[in-house]
Amino acid sequence: MSYPLGLAFKTVQYLLIADVAILFCTNNPNGNLATAITTGLILLMYFIGKVQNIQFRAMMSIQIQGRNLAEKQGPKPKMGIEFGIVVLAMAVLCFLLWKPQFAENAISNWFYTNIIDIENTPIFGFIFKIVGFFFTIGMLLRMFNALSVIFSGKAFGKKDNDDNEPTKNNRVDSHFDDYEEVE
């Protein structure tokens, strides 16, 4: 599949996911703003995770055996476009949250009713709920981990210097490395 066609399919997929997520928020009798915000954050983490997987696969295809294997797989993904698709999907999510009547269409209603039917099926519904639970827990753990990295300052290049590790300016005489002569 060509790269532009793959981007078009991905864009439609992300927009449909946002559309169906809004249907779940608006058709839930207990739904409120907190539910919508949680849904939005989980979707954002999901989309960013997908982009990070693309980034990782592109990086690994270049690093394997020191040559670019991505030429065989097609063109290198453009991260700006990938993040643009995520921003577009989140903008559509916010717009549909503001105007939920635009979320009602035949395709998204079909997905919504099929998901509800699968959820109400005895055995498959249970499996579906278990997978959904662990998916949500995984997304929340990723979000908390990202927030802890941001709040600790590690995301901005701030390093915590341990007293055990000598730096160039702080050389400890008792420190030994492989390139020193032992007397």
Q: Is residue 135 part of a domain?
A: no
DSSP label of 164: S
Non-local CB neighbours of 121 within 8 Å, separated by 6+ positions:
128
Q: Is residue 168 part of a domain?
A: no
Interatomic CA distance for residues 84 and 180, integer angstroms: 51
| Matching residue, tokens 């954050």 | 41
**Average pLDDT of the chain to the nearest whole number:** 80
Query: What pLDDT, in 10s, does the model give residues 5-31?
Result: 988 999 999 999 999 999 988 887 776
Q: Give the residue from 19, 14, 53, 21 showing the smallest Cα distance to 38.
A: 21
Q: Is residue 139 part of a domain?
A: no
Domain count, the chain: 1
Query: What pLDDT, in 10s, does the model give residues 46-66?
Result: 898 888 888 888 777 766 655
Q: Which residue range(s) make up the domain with 38?
A: 3-101
SS3 166: coil
pLDDT the model gives residue 168 = 53
pLDDT the model gives residue 92 = 93
Q: Is residue 145 part of a domain?
A: no
User: Residue 182 pLDDT > 80, yes or no?
Assistant: no
Neighbours of 24 (CB within 10 A): 16
Least confident of 93-97, 103-107, 111-115, 177-181: 177-181
Q: Give the residue from 16, 11, 10 showing the smallest Cα distance to 93.
A: 16
Q: Is residue 8 part of a domain?
A: yes
Q: Is residue 43 part of a domain?
A: yes
Q: Is residue 123 part of a domain?
A: no
Mean pLDDT of all residues in 103-126: 91
Q: Is residue 178 part of a domain?
A: no
Interatomic CA distance for residues 14 and 20, integer angstroms: 10
Interatomic CA distance for residues 23 and 27, integer angstroms: 6
pLDDT the model gives residue 70 = 47
